[in-house]
Amino acid sequence: MPDSHLNNSNPEKIYSLLNLSEKVGQVGSWEFIVAPSKIHVSGIAREILNISSPKDSGLILQNLKCSHSKKSISDIIISGTSSGATFTQFIELNFGEHTKFIRINGECESNSEKKVVRSFGNIQDLTYEFEKERTLKESEISLKDAQHLSKIGSWTWYPQENRVKWSEEMFRILGLEPSKDEITIDTVFKFIHPDDIQHVRDITNKALFEKRAIPVEYRVITPNGTIKHVRGSGEAVIRDGEMIKMFGTIQDISSEVVLKNQLKAYWKNSQDLLCIFDLKGNIKSINPKWSRLLGYSISESKTLSFEEILHPNDRQMIFRKICLLIQTPTNSEFTCRVKTKNNNHIWVSWLCSSNMDSKEVYASGRDITYMVESEEKLKNSALELEAKNKALEQFAYIASHDLKEPLRTITSLTDLWIKDNEHLLDENGRTVFDFVKKATKRMDSLISGLLDYSMIGSNENIELLNTKAIVTSVLEDLSLLVEEKQATITIEQLPEIRGYKTGVRQVFQNLVGNALKYTKKNGEKPKINISCNARGKEYIFCIQDNGIGISTEDKEKIFKIFQRLHNRSEYEGSGIGLAHCQKITEVHGGRIWVESTVGQGSSFYFSFGEQEIQHSASTENQSKRNKSGGHLSIAS
């Protein structure tokens, strides 16, 4: 009640009761006298509006403004009074660190001339109710978000009203737009897959009978025909023996079911041995591959321990691995022999992981028997091949020695006979003996070449080689031939490589020698370029000439041993040099090939396997001319 008495005839007892009612209900009252314009508020109203003294009421009411409209309390009361009708206004007031939500109710009183002379009403603090409602709304939003993220919808069934209430996520799961239309229990069952309806009814009845929630998985069909797998659960509220309502949840588990089916298919069809065993080594589960590969049935496996199927010589190693796996859960890989039902053993490569929550070890094993046996055969073959190669090298050495001995005898006897009997020889006789000496010399060269070919890559260590120094040394050995041919040789920048020194030098010597040998007969002077480029992890060397060239059909033939393309009267040679080059590059893990056009020259490309590639800036060539006019250009 206002502090001023509006009607002196009202009993004092009534005022006391009204003041008590204000305190209990936390509702303050106010009165506005139109003339003079003055507002009176009760003590409870002052408490609600944080007014400490009645004297300050008028000024504070004018200055106390709403957070949104910026109207003062006085403005709201005066504006409501001017309407001449009952009014209600909800406002928000900020008091420093806290906010209050206030409701102002008002009613107008008119005189006999129907002119408003005063208004009165109450002021109520609704902050608690507003905060409670806001918290409830926030909880509802959080619940909706949680349901959406977890794909869990909620429902409530009121059987007495035959009414079902769904959450928004329930509508989404069933492929529907949220609706306020009435939903009945019959509506619910229309979405359940026909084959699952009876199962759902049975579980529901069982849950009601046992008075507990029982999970059930079933399928639902959305309006567009999509079949989803859901997991539902519900619980009834019973009062006086009668079910008042039943509430529960439905979760979309379609992705989970798909994953389960995929895992089942993998478990069933996997070509690997899959098993689960406990920390004591007892096998708990195996997949069908065990039966197909080892012969153990699923029932037989349950009586086995992991120890029983291991080869005795492998058990201690496996136990250490599994103990370490249990102590520090991680993945562990190992290979061992596993016993089959018929007591044979196969090699299996295992990958294991432990789960300390379930106290289980999961293992996946792959049959690698063929691989192990193949590796063993390969190892034995390598040892056998090494032994045969050594025997072959020994044979080649002995054979070449034994073959050269008769040649030396023939040569010596021929020289002695000619020395003693040369006066008896005519021109034909001398020609015959000359053929004999040349033939024995060629035979000696062929035997030496065959021996060198068999010894390539043996009894030599790989070392770091300066190929420019090697090429320079080769050209020094060939200097007489270079001078004779008046050849121009250009050496570009060459790298350091790792290889067999003798073999690498022989490749350069054979190829440069061939470039000087197979020149044109028209007097054109030889031009030879020696270069190298990095390609991937290889250095590709190239020796290019302007010689007679090689036909397309002969490009493979020239690398076969003892193959010659020309008569000895045209070009000398044993037909073994390029075969040497091919074998040397292959021993290094490299290759050799030729690109050529008849009459225009050839380019021989070759490598010595993978190398450490060093990229450096190209340099200018420095040239020198030899004494006889041959030209040599070397990159610095």
Q: Is the separation of the CB atoms in 356 and 329 below 8 Å?
A: yes
What is the arithmetic mean of pLDDT over 250-259? 90
Sorted by sequence, the CB contacts under 8 Å of residue 597 that are 6+ apart come out as 549
Q: Are residues 303 and 450 in the same domain?
A: no
553 inside domain: yes
- What is the rounded distance in angstroms from the CA atom of residue 273 to the CA atom of residue 294? 9
Identify the weakest region by mean pLDDT among 69-78, 236-245, 266-275, 437-446. Answer: 437-446
Q: What's the DSSP call for residue 183?
A: B
Q: Average pLDDT, whole number, for the chain?
A: 81
What is the arithmetic mean of pLDDT over 512-528? 85
Higher pLDDT, 557 or 561: 557
Structure tokens at 204: 């529901």
Does residue 17 register a pLDDT over 60? no
C-alpha atoms less than 13 angstroms from C-alpha of 352 in its C-beta half-sphere:
29
Q: Are residues 629 and 496 in the same domain?
A: yes
Closest CA to 585 of 507, 505, 473: 507
Q: Find the helix or strand (DSSP H, E) in which 153 lies.
A: strand 152-158
Closest CA to 549 of 594, 490, 506: 594
CA dist list (Å): 395 to 308, 390, 401, 475, 561: 53, 8, 10, 34, 19
- The CB density around residue 384, as the number of other CB atoms within 10 Å, is 10
Does residue 114 register a pLDDT over 70? yes
Closest CA to 234 of 152, 155, 341, 138: 155
Does residue 568 register a pLDDT over 60? no
**Helix, strand, coil percentages for the chain (3-state, nearest 5):** 45, 30, 30
Residue ranges making up the domain that contains 485: 463-635
Q: Are residues 31 and 119 in the same domain?
A: yes
1 inside domain: no
Closest CA to 174 of 222, 124, 113: 222
Does residue 2 register a pLDDT over 50? no
Q: What is the pLDDT of residue 454?
A: 60
Choose the final residue of a domain: 202, 226, 257.
257
Choose the final residue of a domain: 73, 96, 125.
125
489 inside domain: yes
Higher pLDDT, 374 or 564: 374
Does residue 453 register a pLDDT over 80? no
634 confidence band (pLDDT: 50, 70, 90): low
Q: Is the separation of the CB atoms in 39 and 58 below 8 Å?
A: yes
Measure the CA dihedral 12/16/19/25, to 10°. -140
DSSP helix/strand/coil, 561: coil
Q: Are residues 382 and 361 in the same domain?
A: no
Does residue 245 register a pLDDT over 60? yes
Query: Based on the structure, what is the number of domains in the chain?
Result: 5
List residues bridging with 251 in a β-sheet: 152, 231
CATH number at residue 474: 3.30.565.10
What is the arithmetic mean of pLDDT over 335-356? 90
Identify the weakest region by mean pLDDT among 58-72, 238-252, 391-405, 598-612. Answer: 391-405
Q: Are residues 430 and 478 in the same domain?
A: no
6 inside domain: no
2 inside domain: no
Q: Are residues 352 and 424 in the same domain?
A: no
Does residue 8 register a pLDDT over 50? no
510 confidence band (pLDDT: 50, 70, 90): confident
Does residue 459 register a pLDDT over 70? no
357-407 pLDDT per residue, tens? 888 889 999 999 999 999 999 998 888 887 777 776 666 666 666 666 677
Q: What percent of the chain has pLDDT over 90?
A: 21
Q: What percent of the chain has pLDDT over 70?
A: 83
Q: Are residues 473 and 595 in the same domain?
A: yes
Beta-sheet strands, E only, within 191-331: 216-221, 227-239, 242-252, 273-278, 283-286
C-alpha atoms less than 13 angstroms from C-alpha of 505 in its C-beta half-sphere:
16
Q: Are residues 316 and 395 in the same domain?
A: no
Does residue 579 register a pLDDT over 70? yes
Q: What is the pLDDT of residue 620?
A: 37
Q: What is the pLDDT of residue 587?
A: 86
Identify the weakest region by mean pLDDT among 180-184, 249-253, 365-369, 514-518. Answer: 180-184
264 inside domain: no
Q: What is the pLDDT of residue 18?
A: 56
Measure the CA dihedral 554/560/563/566, to 10°. 40
CATH number at residue 228: 3.30.450.20
* Centroid of chain to Cα 318: 30
Does residue 511 register a pLDDT over 80? yes
Q: Are residues 630 and 513 in the same domain?
A: yes
Beta-sheet strands, E only, within 403-470: 463-466
Q: Is the separation of the CB atoms in 543 and 491 below 8 Å?
A: no
Does residue 622 register a pLDDT over 50? no
561 confidence band (pLDDT: 50, 70, 90): low
- The CB density around residue 125, as the number of other CB atoms within 10 Å, is 20
Does residue 530 register a pLDDT over 90? yes
Q: What is the pLDDT of residue 93?
A: 86
- What is the rounded distance in angstroms from the CA atom of residue 115 to the CA atom of residue 180? 48
What is the arithmetic mean of pLDDT over 263-289? 89
Q: Are residues 618 and 489 in the same domain?
A: yes
Q: What is the pLDDT of residue 135?
A: 77
Q: Are residues 184 and 242 in the same domain?
A: yes
Give the pTM.
0.45
167-194 pLDDT per residue, tens? 888 888 888 888 777 788 888 889 999 9
3 inside domain: no
Higher pLDDT, 595 or 563: 595
Q: Are residues 621 and 499 in the same domain?
A: yes
Choose the final residue of a domain: 423, 455, 487.
455
513 inside domain: yes
